[in-house]
Amino acid sequence: MVKMPDCPACRGRNVGRVGTGQYYCWDCCIEFNWGNRGVRLYRVEADGELSRIDGPDVPA
């Protein structure tokens, strides 16, 4: 069994895989992935579109 990563935003463990290298945290409702420049966080909007979260907007 593959261990899912902890959420980089809230450190929650309730994480599921939504695509290749893409994960969703059910605790803080953030989608995330790792790229060449580190982790990238996204907020899922009401219409299903992803909005990238930068800097101080990252949930605690």
- Each domain of the chain, given as residue ranges in start order, spans 15-57
pLDDT digit of tens for each residue in the chain (60 aa)? 667 889 999 999 999 999 998 999 999 999 999 878 889 999 999 999 999 998 654 554
Q: Dihedrals φ, ψ of 17, to 5°?
A: -90, 130
16 close to 8: Cβ distance less than 8 angstroms: no
Q: Dihedrals φ, ψ of 26, to 5°?
A: -75, -15
pLDDT at 44: 92
pLDDT at 60: 47
Burial 13-38 (b: 16+ CB within 10 A, else e): eebeeeeeeebbbeebebbbeeeeee
Which DSSP state fits 21? T
pLDDT at 36: 83
pLDDT at 34: 82
pLDDT at 4: 80
